Amino acid sequence: QKEVEQDPGPLSVPEGAIVSLNCTYSNSAFQYFMWYRQYSRKGPELLMYTYSSGNKEDGRFTAQVDKSSKYISLFIRDSQPSDSATYLCAIGTTDSWGKLQFGAGTQVVVTP
């Protein structure tokens, strides 16, 4: 069983819709939770990170963590065609600094 599970999609939504992305993880030792965006043939770009359960908002993006359920989510409001990319969840611990466990990535396509 993988440490981080993520539905690979693809997920196709019309422009303006809310995009909902999810990951589950198996090890309760993980302490920080990140979402990356990756455009085709590029390196991952950090979108959001959080250390705690609850919601964290940044513009059109909301990251949600439920440590009791080992479930993390990313919501993108008012989606734009420029949001079309692969979104990767990643988790880590402060004991293993920089050694991230990634999900498989969800490909998102926002159609005009």
Partner 1 sequence: ETGVTQSPTHLIKTRGQQVTLRCSSQSGHNTVSWYQQALGQGPQFIFQYYREEENGRGNFPPRFSGLQFPNYSSELNVNALELDDSALYLCASSLPGASVDTQYFGPGTRLTVL
Residues that bind partner 1 (CB under 8 A): 4, 6, 8, 32, 34, 36, 41-46, 49, 88, 90, 92, 96-105
Structure-token pair, residue 72 = 């993390």
Residue found by looking up tokens 């422009």 in the block: 15
Q: How far is the CB of 45 from partner 1 (least distance, A)?
A: 7
Structure-token pair, residue 98 = 């920089």
Residue found by looking up tokens 């019309």 in the block: 14
Q: How far is the CB of 68 from partner 1 (least distance, A)?
A: 22
Nearer to partner 1, 4 or 76 (CB): 4
Nearer to partner 1, 45 or 78 (CB): 45
Rounded Cα gap, residues 92 and 96, in angstroms: 7
Rounded Cα gap, residues 39 and 59, in angstroms: 20
Nearer to partner 1, 18 or 27 (CB): 27
Rounded Cα gap, residues 110 and 27, in angstroms: 32
Q: How far is the CB of 98 from partner 1 (least distance, A)?
A: 5
